[in-house]
């Protein structure tokens, strides 16, 4: 049943101004509004609600990702905007971009927001 509806993503931050600078200014998400409940952003047709908390222990895995075409181009563009990609030791990437190629050919690169939430961009074959 829920397959027919858009997804709303939820993230947590300890600082709305810092999160807005990252998600809007660096990643390019559209700012919709901020109220006492959340900072609301839009990515394409998807809503992202960033909720403020006093403390935050980031999840150990990816919490939000974007499916892209031409992942190398997207990684380079984000790096030019100040995004630092994780360089995991088990990722073998001769381009030096931190892009992992899965056994089936999909590619993923990870980065963190200012609160330590792990985000990703991926290209699927």
Beta-sheet pairing, 30-34 with 8-13: unpaired
- The string of pLDDT tens digits covering residues 8-23 is 999 999 999 999 999 9
Domain 7-123, CATH among 1.10.760.10, 1.10.3470.10, 3.20.20.70, 3.10.180.10: 3.10.180.10
Beta partners for 120? 65, 110
pTM of the entire predicted model: 0.93
Reference 50, options 8, 17, 13; nearest CA is 13
- The string of pLDDT tens digits covering residues 8-65 is 999 999 999 999 999 999 999 999 999 999 999 999 999 999 999 999 999 999 999 9
Residue 79 has pLDDT above 90, yes or no: yes
Share of the chain above pLDDT 70, in %: 100
Residue 69 has pLDDT above 90, yes or no: yes
> What are the boundaries of each domain within the chain?
7-123
Q: Output the CA angle 28-114-98, nearest 5 degrees.
A: 75
Task: Quote the DSSP letter at residue 115.
Answer: T
Alpha carbons 41 and 49: distance in angstroms, whole number = 6
């Amino acid at each position: 049943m829920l397959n027919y509806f858009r997804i709303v993503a939820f993230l947590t931050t300890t600082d709305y101004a810092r999160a807005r600078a990252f998600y809007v200014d660096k990643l390019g998400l559209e700012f919709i509004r901020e109220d006492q409940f959340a900072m609301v952003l839009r990515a394409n047709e998807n809503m992202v609600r960033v909720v403020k908390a006093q403390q935050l222990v980031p999840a150990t895995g990816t919490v939000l990702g974007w499916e892209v075409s031409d992942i190398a181009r997207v990684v380079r563009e984000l790096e030019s905007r100040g995004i630092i990609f994780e360089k995991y030791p088990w990722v073998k990437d001769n381009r030096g971009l931190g892009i992992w190629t899965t056994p089936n050919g999909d590619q993923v690169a990870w980065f963190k927001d200012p609160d330590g939430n792990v985000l990703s961009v991926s290209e699927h074959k």
